[in-house]
Amino acid sequence: MFAKTVLDNGIRVVSQEMTDHRSVSLGIWVENGSRHELPHQNGISHFIEHLLFKGTTTRTAAQIAEEMDAVGGLLNAFTSKEHTCYYAKVLDENLPLAIDLLTDIFLNSNFDAEEIERERSVILQEISQAEDTPDDYVHDLFSLDFFENHALGRPIAGHAGTVANFCRDDFLDFFHERYRPGRVLVSGAGHFKHDDLVAEMNARLGSVKQPFSAVPGSFAAEALPPTRRGVFSHAKPLEQVHLCLGMPGIHQTHPQRHAAYILNTILGGGMSSRLFQEIREKRGKAYSVYSFTSAYKDTGYIGVYAGTSMESAREVVDLVLKELKNLAAGEIHADEIRRTQGQLVGNIMLGLESTDSWMSHIARNELYFGKAVSTDETCRRIRSVTRDEIVELAGALFRPEAMAASLLGDFKDDFNLNDFGLGR
Examine the pLDDT at 202 and tell me if it is beyond 70.
yes
The residue-averaged pLDDT of 127-153 equals: 95
Q: Give dist(CA 174, CA 32) in Å, integer.
A: 10
Question: Is 150 inside a domain boundary?
Answer: yes
Question: Is 262 inside a domain boundary?
Answer: yes
Question: Are 181 and 299 in the same domain?
Answer: no
For residue range 8-45, what is the model confidence (pLDDT) as tens digits? Answer: 999 999 999 999 999 999 999 999 999 999 999 999 99
Question: Is 407 inside a domain boundary?
Answer: yes
Name every residue whose Cβ is closer than 8 Å to that of residue 180 and which is 6 or more positions away in sequence. Answer: 210, 211
Q: Structurally, how many domains does the chain consist of?
A: 2
Q: Which of 140, 172, 205 is the last residue of a domain?
A: 205
Question: Is 216 inside a domain boundary?
Answer: no
Question: Are 264 and 196 in the same domain?
Answer: no
Confidence of residue 421 (pLDDT cuts 50, 70, 90): low
Question: Are 85 and 157 in the same domain?
Answer: yes
Question: Are 58 and 187 in the same domain?
Answer: yes
Question: Are 21 and 86 in the same domain?
Answer: yes
Nearest to 40 by CA among 177, 164, 225, 137: 164
Residues in the chain: 424
Question: Are 70 and 185 in the same domain?
Answer: yes
Please report the pLDDT score of residue 82 as a whole number.
97
Examine the pLDDT at 137 and tell me if it is beyond 80.
yes
Q: How far is CA 40 from CA 107, 112, 333, in A?
A: 26, 22, 50
Question: Are 54 and 199 in the same domain?
Answer: yes
Question: Are 6 and 109 in the same domain?
Answer: yes
Residue 398's domain comprises 230-420
| Catalytic residue (choose from 31, 49, 278, 366) | 49
Return the amino acid letter for 323: E
Confidence of residue 225 (pLDDT cuts 50, 70, 90): confident
The CATH number for 161's domain is: 3.30.830.10
Question: Is 322 inside a domain boundary?
Answer: yes
Please report the pLDDT score of residue 276 as a whole number.
97
Please report the pLDDT score of residue 413 as a whole number.
61
The residue-averaged pLDDT of 107-116 equals: 96
Confidence of residue 412 (pLDDT cuts 50, 70, 90): confident
Question: Is 158 inside a domain boundary?
Answer: yes
Q: Give dist(CA 337, CA 393) in Å, integer.
A: 14
Question: Are 239 and 200 in the same domain?
Answer: no
Q: How far is CA 244 from CA 138, 248, 313, in A?
A: 7, 13, 11
Question: Are 187 and 241 in the same domain?
Answer: no
The residue-averaged pLDDT of 184-196 equals: 97
The rounded mean pLDDT for the chain is 93
Q: How far is CA 6 from CA 27, 82, 181, 275, 396, in A?
A: 16, 21, 10, 45, 40
Q: Which of 205, 239, 273 is the last residue of a domain?
A: 205
**Catalytic: 49?**
yes
Question: Are 234 and 171 in the same domain?
Answer: no
CB 149 within 8 A of CB 423: no
Q: Which residues pair with 414 in a beta bridge?
A: none
Question: Is 297 inside a domain boundary?
Answer: yes
Question: Are 141 and 240 in the same domain?
Answer: no
Examine the pLDDT at 214 and tell me if it is beyond 60.
no
For residue range 322-364, what is the model confidence (pLDDT) as tens digits? Answer: 999 999 999 999 999 999 999 999 999 999 999 999 999 999 9
Question: Is 224 inside a domain boundary?
Answer: no
